[in-house]
Amino acid sequence: MLTVDIPTHISPSQVSQLAQCPARYLLGRAYPPETTPVWNVLGTAVHTAIQAAIETGMPFDNTIDLVKTLIGEYDSASIAFQTRTTKDNLVATAAGCVETWWDQVHPTGKNRLPEYEALGWPPQTESRFNLPGGPPVVVILDALYSTAFGPIVVDWKTGARSRSRMLQLYIYWWALRQSGIAKPEHRPRGWFHHLRSGKLQPFDWYPGDAVIQAQLWAADRTKRAGHYDPQPNDFCPVCQSQPHCPIFTGDMTDLDAARKAVRWVQLERNAA
Ligand code: SF4
């Protein structure tokens, strides 16, 4: 029998997914594709290698070996490739992301960016915040630096684009404020670091707690009300839920079945 596990908590990625297309959020859980999107494979391997380098002091060559090993654990037939990241360039792309990270971020990097030079080493990795007020929210940060001027939050990106939606960093800053790490006098500071292009996308403005809380509540309401309507957008051409989406099939059967099969699940450790 079909059951669709929906977490009771909200995370930044859920806020983005639900805002982009609520049907995709539900259908992806109800009918998981047989293949893993290549960006998941790449992102997981690169983040795991970077985290190991920071936490264990692993040297450069071993970090590159690690990311190659992690990619090699996937059967390429189980990966959904895309035009820019193909079967032939996946390993090189992953190694390239780690090389750029090392070059621009690591204290031994030859082209360390001034933004990192001013910070201490190592940053705190995978900082996790469970925030129960309002809808329960779980936030996990790639890197958190403590400075005399307040915290700096960094998110390493492995996608092909050099721009990401700032909402993710705003939610991170909201979490730092809720947990008392970012004080009212601290200026919001941080950036996305796009490892394919080597470009930083900084944020130094924050829309305010009320705006972010409204977004979190909106995501929570969508889930609780079961409003999983399809919302066509520029992701549709590569959406793996197309075979179940009424926009493409003209048939509501799969979406209706998924709606009826929702089962609420409490937070699991390491879930996001
Ligand atoms: S194909 Fe488009 S409208 Fe349909 S679920 Fe995917 S993203 Fe949503």
Residues 25 and 38 in one domain: no
CA angle 236, 238, 241 (to 5 degrees): 70
Domain that holds residue 196: 1-32+113-267
Strands 262-265 and 199-203: unpaired
* Cα–Cα nearest to 22, from 245, 251, 268: 245
Establish if 272 belongs to a structural domain. no
Residues 122 and 242 in one domain: yes
Residues 145 and 48 in one domain: no
Mean per-residue pLDDT of the chain: 94
Confidence grade of residue 160 (pLDDT, cut at 50, 70, 90) = confident
Secondary structure percentages of the chain, helix, strand, coil, to 5: 45, 20, 40
Please check whether residue 85 is in contact with residue 42, taking contact to mean a CB–CB distance below 8 angstroms. yes
Mean pLDDT on 246-266: 96
The CATH number that applies at residue 1 is 3.90.320
Residues 105 and 221 in one domain: no
Residues 182 and 119 in one domain: yes
Protein residue closest via CA to atom 4 of ligand 1:
245
Establish if 147 belongs to a structural domain. yes
Instruction: State which of 242, 249, 254 you would mutate to test the pocket of ligand 1, scoring each by most atoms of that ligand within 8 A of its C-beta.
Output: 242
**High-pLDDT (> 70) share of the chain, %:** 98
Q: Can you give the pLDDT at residue 270? A: 47
Burial of 57 (0-12, 13-18, 19+ CB in 10 A): exposed
Q: Can you give the pLDDT at residue 84? A: 87
Q: Can you give the pLDDT at residue 162? A: 83
Q: Can you give the pLDDT at residue 271? A: 45
**pLDDT tens-digit series, residues 192-214:** 999 999 999 999 899 999 999 99
Establish if 156 belongs to a structural domain. yes
Q: Atom of ligand 1 at shortest distance to CA of 27?
A: 5
Q: What pairs with residue 156 in β-bridges?
A: 193
In the predicted model, is pLDDT for residue 269 greater than 70? no
Query: For residue 18, which amino acid is it?
Result: L
Least confident range from 59-63, 83-87, 170-174, 216-220: namely: 83-87
Cis peptide before 122 (omega within 30 of 0): yes
User: How far apart are the CA of 126 and the centre of ligand 1, in A?
Assistant: 31
Q: Can you give the pLDDT at residue 173? A: 97
In the predicted model, is pLDDT for residue 20 greater than 90? yes
Number of domains in the chain: 2
Instruction: State which of 29, 245, 249 you would mutate to test the pocket of ligand 1, scoring each by most atoms of that ligand within 8 A of its C-beta.
Output: 245
